[in-house]
Copies of this chain bind each other. A is one copy, B any other.
Amino acid sequence: MSQVFAGIEAGGTKWVCMIANHPEDIRATTRFPTRDPEETISTAIEFIRNHIRNPEDLRGLGIGSFGPLDLKKDSPTYGFLTTTPKPGWANTDLISPFQKEFNLSIGFDTDVNAAALGEYRWGAGRGLSDFIYLTVGTGIGGAAIVNHSLIHGMIHPEMGHILIPHDWEHDPFAGVCPYHGDCLEGLATGPAIKARWGQPAEDLPPDHPAWQLEAHYLGLGIANLIATLSPQRVILGGGVMDQTQLFPMIREEVRELLGDYISAMDILEANEEYIVPPVLGTQAGVLGAVALAQQAAEA
């Protein structure tokens, strides 16, 4: 067996592990529920060990994790999950156990940054210098590639928490974000849709008014992100975006919200290629972790 990379998508409810070189060369994949840190990490290590013949076959390892994370490389708790409310997981060191076991440099980033990097290498962001990746599911996560690199800044973006106009008369729903109430995440995640309409998003028919309102809020958020980042493309993933009827509705909202002002953008001519689903689909996260592994090995 030739050399390969390992990627781990570390989620709050499940972990996905993969041995691969790229999307067309996937050697093995597994997914299992997130238990306590020790057991979960052991399961991942076990999977990797079982799928490489010799230790030296493993060229790199990448982890894209749920957060909040300490991503400051010079911090004593670099690679830790920090203040997560998930029982048992606060202050968990996600890097050291793998480093001890496999003795190589480890790529580490947020789950959404990993997914964006996966799309950059092999998906809808390929060949672009600047794009946004948003995932809309139980939360709203955002990542951006700017000048061919991920934004980290002081910590990492929290694009789900931008504040948008909320017409209380038209939509008296207060929002579900425990921090800000009616920020983008508070108004437009899966749980917000469920709380507003009294039934799970996936049970609402495609012509339900929930989707027009959802497209409106996502359109507002995306218009703000476009005005801030001037991206060449916007990639929308996550469970809520499985409702593919949202794409044309969101494109229309964004077009209207930007107005004539940003018409110079190719948005109007190539709208259907401007706001798109991820090419890697549900594998964006774990393939992104493989991309993190490659990036760490190249560094």
Contact = CB atoms under 8 A, between A and B. Distances in A.
Interface in A149-163: 149, 151-163
A77 to B, nearest CB: 11
A163 B223 contact: yes
Between A149, A152, A154, the greatest number of chain B beta carbons within 10 A of the residue's beta carbon is seen for A154
B265 A154 contact: yes
Contact of A179 (B159, B160, B260): B260
Interface stretch (A18-26, A46-54, A190-198, A229-237): A229-237
A153 to B, nearest CB: 3
A250 interface: no
A130 B147 contact: no
Contacts of A264: 68, 82-83, 155
A10 interface: no
A257 interface: yes
Contacts of A142: 228
A215 B191 CA distance: 32
A220 B147 CA distance: 27
Interface in A207-254: 220, 223-225, 227-232
B151 A227 contact: no
A151 B129 CA distance: 10
Copies of the polypeptide in the assembly: 2
B130 A161 contact: no
Contact of A230 (B130, B153, B229, B260): B153
A276 interface: no
Contacts of A153: 129-130, 146, 229-232
Nearest to A152: B230
A166 interface: yes
A149 to B, nearest CB: 5
A265 B164 contact: no
Contacts of A230: 151-158
A169 B265 CA distance: 35
A69 B159 CA distance: 28
A126 interface: no
Contacts of A129: 153
Given A83-B264, A225-B228, 8 more contacts: A151-B230, A154-B232, A154-B266, A155-B262, A157-B229, A163-B223, A164-B164, A164-B165
11 contacts: A83-B264, A130-B154, A146-B153, A154-B230, A157-B227, A157-B230, A161-B227, A163-B223, A164-B164, A165-B166, A179-B261
Interface of A: 68, 82-83, 129-130, 142, 144, 146-147, 149, 151-166, 179-180, 220, 223-225, 227-232, 257, 259-262, 264-266
